[in-house]
Amino acid sequence: MLRLIGQRLLAMVPLLLIVSVMTFSFTALLPSDPVDLIIGDRGSEEQYEMVRERLGLNQPFLTRYADWLLRAMTGDLGTSFFNSVQVKDAVLQRMPATLSLTFGSVLISIMVGLAAGVAAGLRPGSWVDRTATFGATIGQAIPNFWFGIILASVFAVSLRWFPATGYVPLTDSPMEWLRSITLPALALGLSTSAAIARQVRSAMVGVLQQDYIRAARAQGLSSRRVVLKHALKNALVPVVTVLSFQITVLLGGALIVEQVFAINGIGSLAITAVRQQDIPMIQGIVLILVLVVMLVQLATDILYGLINPKARPT
């Protein structure tokens, strides 16, 4: 397992380098000049040149990239063009809200997806199976931001059980933190649970037809023990792969759902940076989010190796 972790960590280095090159190149191709947004239309030529020199935009592309890369390797992702805030500090300040929403939706998708998938897989062709399949189809068809609007309208505006907007940090009030992420996490998690339910259902149907399941039942083991100890553990092997992909989808979806519930997370920061052509902020957000995704992939690879010993490196 340590060898697997070491290999994955080493693989992160060239991937981060490729992402940094692509991100820096794409931001250099932006049609508008951030200096125009900073100074406006009435600035003089001297003012334009002074600002471009202060921001380093008068340097060649390779020089700017090399300077940025050397600073990024020390943890310095630069300073925002518009408010002189350190990019790393701004992103890390918004990160708890986005991660809370993402991992809250992961828990919901796992619980709902496992329950629905196991129930459908135990009774293939029954009304339970048809209901779960229909619900999974609807869940995958509905956009998560539309689902968020419906949840906010019913449970926040009409019933007033949860706040409609805002985010409360966990350190301020655990209960209010839970209330603030419940609706957006449901909007994300319920749609993602549909994909997990389909995978669990398919895996359970296949596993329950294996010879070792029949042998376990012939030995007199209870159905509960056969399902939970033998069938479900083996059915989770392909589910972990799906979950690895879904977590990445949830992280991207969280950036959109944050706008529905007015949560000051990475999503609002990214949208503001794009509108303002804030190049250092865009580069820092992309690089940190890619790093988070790679760490999630590493965690799922470790979990996959724990569940499936055949996947462990020899």
The predicted model scores a pTM of 0.79
Residue type at 66? A
- pLDDT for 302: 77
Question: 167 pLDDT exceeds 60?
Answer: yes
**Any residues with CB less than 8 A from the CB of 97 and at least 6 apart, and which?**
167, 169, 258, 263, 264, 265, 266
Mean pLDDT along residues 54-82: 83
pLDDT in tens, 187-241: 888 878 888 888 888 888 888 777 777 787 787 777 777 777 767 777 777 677 7
- The phi-psi region of residue 43 (left if phi > 0; otherwise alpha if psi is between -120 and 50; otherwise beta) is beta
In the chain, % of residues over pLDDT 70? 92
pLDDT in tens, 105-151: 888 888 888 888 888 888 887 888 888 888 878 877 778 888 888 88
Chain mean pLDDT for the chain: 81
In the chain, % of residues over pLDDT 90? 0
